[in-house]
Structure 1
Amino acid sequence: MLQRPTQRTAAILFAATAATAALSLAFVTTASASADGTAPKTAPVAAAALPSVSGSPEGAFTRIADFYGAYIDAVYDGDGTTADQLRSFYLSKPLQTELKKWEETNHANGVLRAQNVPSQWKVTSTGSGAGKTSATVTLTWGGGTTTQIHVQADLATKKITSIKD
């Protein structure tokens, strides 16, 4: 089920507040004096790792991940103009033409290979060779089901050249 932007913002704020509270608790320790007046020894408490995202504009693999993250956000928000601009920038011209034909035949979004928007995405490199880099995009849908899409990008142009089920 799609969330409206206000619901999504509230969910993000709630998650951020919960993460902050968890980190605060991880750093707080209580100590009481022992019979000899020294503080008892306590084991170090591990803090939860905060998420991070990194990349480089020079890497074709990073471009695949950047595209899918931004594209899913645009489609989720109902911003067709931005989704079209992202396709134009990140996808090769032949792939854009191929996707239009696929979409006419399948009545679905060719980039996502679906009629709706996933709730999560993950891009995993599957290697590079012969001037291409390959990745598997795992899309998570409501109810926890997943699908995978196999994507290739040209190392020289960094444009995505292939999207297959």
Structure 2
Amino acid sequence: MSKHSAKRTTSLTLTAAAVLTLTLALVPSASADGSTGQQAPAAAAPAAAPAPSVSGSPEAAFTRIADFYGSYIDAVYDGDGPTADRLRAFYLSEPLRAELREWEEKNHADGVLRAQNVPLRWKVTSTGSGTGRTGATVTLTWGSDTTEVHVQADPATRKIVSIRD
């Protein structure tokens, strides 16, 4: 084997290692919450995370559920009771508002959140539509604990008609 061909082999080996390193850095392994569950290799350059985005439609009952919970939690977190009340009036059906007033009087807590305080994070997940209702599970994160609230909306009116633990 000549000296020239030995250099070529070494060069190809280094190139293959570089390609493998770049490939591993660019192939994410994400979990449902967006975390990778592992550290990136030290030699790999960090890949840019995609920009967060939120989308929806004013015609979709599921979007209304997500919009309500996001806005409501913001208002309660900011201590803006009048805005929280207006959001309830706009997004919740009158029978549900009456039911929540009774629940809150009995439980001394916020009926929408089913708690006395405000969650640090929230996530709304569709549970599908059927029997004239659109369903969602709202996961509320309180530090290291989470709770779930099951919500239904009427697709025709897009009003939230049920909130259950």
Q: TM-score, normalised by structure 1?
A: 0.73
Aligned residues: 126
* SS in structure 1 at match of 2:123: strand
Aligned partner of 1:31 in structure 2 is: none
Q: Partners in 1 of 2:80 and 2:51 — Cα distance?
A: 29
Q: Please report how far the alpha carbon of residue 132 of structure 1 lies from its aligned counterpart in structure 2 after TM superposition.
A: 0.6
Partner of 1:138: 139
CA distance in 1, matches of 2:114, 2:67: 18
The whole-number CA distance in structure 2 between the counterparts of 1:51 and 1:140 is: 19
**1:156 aligned counterpart, secondary structure:** coil
Mapped pair 1:149 → 2:141? no
| Aligned residue identity for 1:123 | V
Amino acid at match of 2:154: D
For 1:127, the equivalent position in structure 2 comes to 128
Shift of the alpha carbon at 1:49?
A: 1.8
Identity of aligned residues (%): 74
Q: Using the alignment, how far apart are the partners of 2:57 and 2:98 within structure 1?
A: 27
Give 2:71's aligned residue.
70
Amino acid at match of 2:103: W
Residue in structure 2 matched with residue 95 of structure 1 by the alignment:
96
Give 1 or 2 for the bigger CA radius of gyration. Answer: 2
Equivalent residue of 2:150, what SS?
Answer: strand
Q: 1:16-165 maps to which residues of 2 (within 5 A)?
A: 43=22, 46-142=47-143, 144-165=144-165
Displacement of 1:50 in angstroms is 1.8
Q: Name the residue aligned to 2:33.
A: none
1:160 deviates by 0.1
User: What CA distance in whole angstroms lies between the structure 2 residues aligned with 1:122 and 1:115?
Assistant: 19
Shift of 1:124: 0.3
